[in-house]
Amino acid sequence: MPESNLNVCPVCKVKILPGGMAGDKVLFSVGPPGTRATLWARVCQFTQKAGCINQDKSLVGEIKTTDYYQPEL
């Protein structure tokens, strides 16, 4: 993974690897990789801090019900 392409959010420290046409890949500290929509649904919408790199709705994309946190039953 080229470090020069990796973006790290100064607020939550999550890593975002630009994916071009395939979309960005979000590397969470725990669990499988996700999308910017998943990151926004689970973290960014609640954080609301200056410096968050995932507030641009055009980059976040469509948020699906599966993007929100789903506790294991």
Q: What is the pLDDT of residue 60?
A: 94
pLDDT digit string, tens, across residues 31-57: 899 999 999 999 999 988 999 999 999
- SS3 of 51, please? coil
User: Which residues neighbour 61 within 8 Å (Cβ) at sequence distance 6 or greater?
Assistant: 23, 35, 36, 37
Q: Which string of b and e fits 15-40 if b means at least 16 CB within 10 Å? A: bbeeeeeeebebbeeeeeebbbbbbb
Q: What is the pLDDT of residue 48?
A: 85
Domain boundaries defined on the chain: 3-51
Q: What is the pLDDT of residue 67?
A: 94
pLDDT digit string, tens, across residues 12-24: 999 999 987 778 9
Sheet holding 7-8, edge to edge: 7-8, 15-17, 25-27
Is the pLDDT reported for residue 65 higher than 90?
yes
Is the pLDDT reported for residue 5 higher than 90?
no
In angstroms, the first-to-last Cα distance of the chain is: 34
Q: What pTM value is reported for the model?
A: 0.84
